[in-house]
Structure 1
């Protein structure tokens, strides 16, 4: 079921699945994707959780306000948690969504029971080279302005983002795609900085959850079993 909430002047769309009485799980997609990107793993996740799959600003059915940054997206997610009455949740993010999730978990650690980062970490200055891309000739389903806004932040990230990873209190799972083009040290450095973090590798590229959905679900299931809520 797709719904919308007004959060800080923007509309955030989200779809839900699973038992409303189950533990909340929030899914954050990558750059250029949407909540629909989780279709291959949504039934498995919804079997044990009440899942909220969000369209981040500029994507899917959410507002395309023209202003984009990782902190703005983090604040949107926090606002949605408040508006939806989600006090604490399992937070899962892929790529850009994983960085948004990490910023949220360090800013409001009390809102996150477990953190899952899929093939992403928080970069330090000079770690990634992401020059701007030319606008495509054809319209895109997302606001292309978000692409270069986020790429600029990856190219020159706030150093405080990496430093504050040690504020994350939730057990953390980082799922690496063994065939991903991302630099491996992006993930290992973040795993070393985050307390209670575990790094695992799956034989896949950058989109582990779509390329190897069964393995993705298995790793999350093992992680949650090892860290029951309250540990």
Structure 2
């Protein structure tokens, strides 16, 4: 499946996205991790076996989408709502990795009627842990807004407890895909899978945090089997 670069205006802000597949088929909307972009899903889209409309969004501050004054998981959740409304997507499959996975949890908690399935790659919602040191801004140009990293890492260090409290209210059939060699605690993924009523968890042996890059064939097998 070839993905074509497109743009749309959301509340006067320009957002970039990639789209391919059958325009009349069930949409899959994919959200990337912190510091990445929609292009991180190109090989996943190419490996889908069914007929889908695949749409990967550059979230605010990333790729070719708008740089804004403020960044938060909640703002990205509302960006997603505006985005799917702009594309007239009544119901869709939501696929999120890392930062995009947290946005996906929040969206499924807030707007459950919009989702057919939820697929989260190697992330639980942020939880209290050892503080993450925010590094100094690099001097070389970056493909994303440094303010986004600072803000999102700030939320990782001070997570909202309701993000976990509302996991049991997620009614969407959910799949969590973890990596056995990831720096993300896999016991936290299992905890999430036990809190969401209709949830399955699969761990990809030898994969790190970027499961769909580290072990693409294995990832695609799991994804295609779940979507079938």
TM score, norm. by length of structure 1: 0.93
Structure 1 position 217, deviation (Å): 1.2
Q: Which of these residues, 12, 23, 26, is aligned with residue 23 of structure 1?
A: 26
Partner Cα separation in structure 1 for residue 189 and residue 151 of structure 2 = 22
Instruction: Look up the match of 2:217.
Output: 214
Structure 1 position 221, deviation (Å): 1.6
Structure 1: where are the runs of 5+ without partners? Answer: 226-231
Give the count of matched residue pairs: 224
In the TM superposition, 1:16-55 aligns within 5 A as: 16-45=19-48, 47-55=50-58
Residue pair 2:173, 2:198 contacting (<8 A) in 1 also? yes
In the TM superposition, 1:116-127 aligns within 5 A as: 116-124=119-127, 126-127=128-129
Give the 3-state SS of the residue equivalent to 1:64 in structure 2. Answer: coil
Give the 3-state SS of the residue equivalent to 1:39 in structure 2. Answer: helix
Instruction: Look up the match of 1:154.
Output: 156
Give the 3-state SS of the residue equivalent to 1:162 in structure 2. Answer: helix
In the TM superposition, 1:121-200 aligns within 5 A as: 121-124=124-127, 126-127=128-129, 129-200=131-202
Instruction: Look up the match of 1:98.
Output: 101
Matched, 1:60 2:63: yes
Partner Cα separation in structure 1 for residue 184 and residue 121 of structure 2 = 12
Distance 1:9 1:137, change over 3 A: same
Distance 1:215 1:128, change over 3 A: farther
| Range with greater deviation from structure 2 (172-181 or 131-140) | 131-140
| Range with greater deviation from structure 2 (128-137 or 47-56) | 128-137
Partner Cα separation in structure 2 for residue 129 and residue 176 of structure 1 = 22
Structure 1 position 47, deviation (Å): 4.7
Partner Cα separation in structure 2 for residue 185 and residue 68 of structure 1 = 28
Structure 1 position 46, deviation (Å): 7.3
- CA-based RMSD of the aligned residues comes to 1.3
Structure 1 position 193, deviation (Å): 1.3
Residue pair 1:45, 1:51 contacting (<8 A) in 2 also? no
In the TM superposition, 1:62-77 aligns within 5 A as: 62-77=65-80
Structure 1 position 33, deviation (Å): 0.2
Structure 2: where are the runs of 5+ without partners? Answer: none
Q: Deviations over 1:106-137 (max 9, x none)?
A: 1000011100000001133x235322221011
Partner Cα separation in structure 1 for residue 209 and residue 174 of structure 2 = 19
Structure 1 position 12, deviation (Å): 1.5
Q: Which of these residues, 3, 10, 26, is aligned with residue 13 of structure 2?
A: 10
